[in-house]
Amino acid sequence: MSYQFITSAKLPTRHGEFDLHVFENDDGQEHVMLSVGLPVGDEQSATDNTDQRQRPAPLVRIHSECLTGDAFGSLKCDCGPQLNTAMQAIQAEGCGAILYLRQEGRGIGLTNKIRAYALQDQGHDTLDANLMLGLPADARIYDMCAPMLAHVGVDEVRLITNNPDKVAYLTKHGVNVSERVPLVVGVNDMNAEYLATKRDRMGHLLDKEFYTAAHLNK
């Protein structure tokens, strides 16, 4: 699958101004990147690569679309707080990017995600709910990340993530991850079991001792 840069524009947000880049794959699926302090358009050819390498690696967050969390403020997950905290951190840093990937519900789509929600309402965890629907526990792919980062001249990052799979995927595809920056925000009693499943069954790097919710420390 190949990815093509389409266009870019300025995007003012409550966290500050970002450069918004749009990419499209062979199937017409769109992904976007929000960047700060990285080359845009013709700036790429004018950038001094030596100077860029002397700066700290940019902060980067790979964030898969979550309509319920990002737009509706759902308490069932931590996606919305993660996105907003990453935007704030990158603005404060002055150099970085968010790769916003259009793969809702860990890649199973919005309808199947809500079907999985219904099973979670019956007491099943997020992983088992997907499997009960005959779907993968996690269907996300990250092959678009390296081309998106290459567009802004980035081949080394400090990656904001708790998911070691994202570190491994970038490394495999030629992007050096010089540091993993943990991102544990938005913990509440409605999503504690969801986070525990990510930690205990999906290998996410979440420290039990961090949490105050009693049922996360069982």
Write down the pLDDT at residue 210: 45
DSSP one-letter string for 170-208: HHHTT-EEEEEE-------TTTHHHHHHHHHHS-----G
Active site residue 140: yes
Annotated binding site: 61-66, 77, 79, 82, 104-106, 126, 161, 166
Active site residue 158: no
**What pairs with residue 76 in β-bridges?**
none
- Which stretch of DSSP H or E encloses residue 11? strand 3-13
Active-site hit among 78, 128, 138, 155 = 138
Write down the pLDDT at residue 34: 97
pLDDT band at 215 (very low <50, low <70, confident <90, very high): very low
Annotated binding site for GTP: 61-65, 82, 104-106, 126, 161, 166
Q: What is the DSSP letter of 215?
A: G
Active-site hit among 55, 102, 140, 207 = 140
Write down the pLDDT at residue 217: 38
Domain ranges in the chain are 3-215
Section 12-26 average pLDDT: 95
Minimal CA–CA distance to 101: which of 154, 162, 57, 166? 166
Are 37 and 156 within 8 A, CB to CB? no
Write down the pLDDT at residue 203: 86
Residue 43 to residues 48, 99, 147, 177: CA-CA distances in angstroms? 10, 20, 17, 24
Section 161-187 average pLDDT: 92
Annotated binding site for Zn(2+): 66, 77, 79
Span 3-215 CATH architecture: 3-Layer(aba) Sandwich (3.40)
Write down the pLDDT at residue 193: 86
The whole-model pTM stands at 0.87
Q: Tell me the per-residue pLDDT of 133-165, one tens digit each, with 9 for 90 and over.
A: 999 988 888 989 999 999 999 999 999 999 999
